[in-house]
Structures are given as C-alpha cells and as structure tokens.
Amino acid sequence: MCGNEQGRKRPGPNLMGDIAHFTVHDLRRTFRSQVSALGFSGAVGERAINHSLKGVEGIYDRYDYYEERRQAHQRIADVIEPLVWVGFDGKL
C-alpha cells in the first residue's frame, strides 16, 4: 500500500512519485473529518468508517444507520468525483 509493507516498522520507499507519503488510515481520518464537516452526527461518522460505538451508547444504540451512512458516503463521493476527473478530459 503506497510503498509500505504491512508490519514494517520503517516505511518502504515512496512508490507514489511526487505524491507525499500517506497511508490508508490518512484517508479514513480525512473521510471521518469531512463527514462531520458536512453535518452528519458522530454516530453516523463512526459507523461510516465501520467503528463500533463505544461505552453505553454502543450497548444501547443498536440502530445500523444504514441510510445515513449511505447518504454520508454519497455526499463525500459528490465532493471527490469532480476532483478525480481533473486531468482525464472526461475519459478514463
């Protein structure tokens, strides 16, 4: 993943060229922050990155937030999609 081998203490070489080093966790953290910035609740954000709710909330709140998670993922996709197409001239 991006030049890093699973379980290595020191990162491997950056295989992404001019892109700064990042990990999958960086993408998860960014996604989680953006879900909050878009106004979704903390419970939706945590469930959207497949975290269990903690403490008493996790014990009593058994709702799966499926529709809210779907909406959060779609809103993030709507933000990212135009950025992905930059440089592709609309073609892949």
Kindly list the averaged pLDDT for each block of 10 residues, start to end, along the chain of length 92: 59 71 84 96 94 89 94 95 72 58
What residues have CB less than 8 Å from 15, skipping those under 6 apart? 2, 3
What residues have CB less than 8 Å from 16, skipping those under 6 apart? 2, 3, 22
The amino acid at residue 58 is G
pLDDT at 77: 95
- 18 falls within a domain: no
- 63 falls within a domain: yes
Query: Are the beta carbons of 47 and 64 closer than 8 angstroms?
Result: yes
Place of tokens 């910035």: 37
- 65 falls within a domain: yes
- 53 falls within a domain: yes
- 36 falls within a domain: no
pLDDT at 1: 45
Reported pTM: 0.68
State the total domains in the chain. 1
Output the six-digit token pair for 51.
């975290």
Rounded alpha-carbon distances, angstroms, from residue 38 to 19, 29, 35, 58: 26, 14, 5, 23
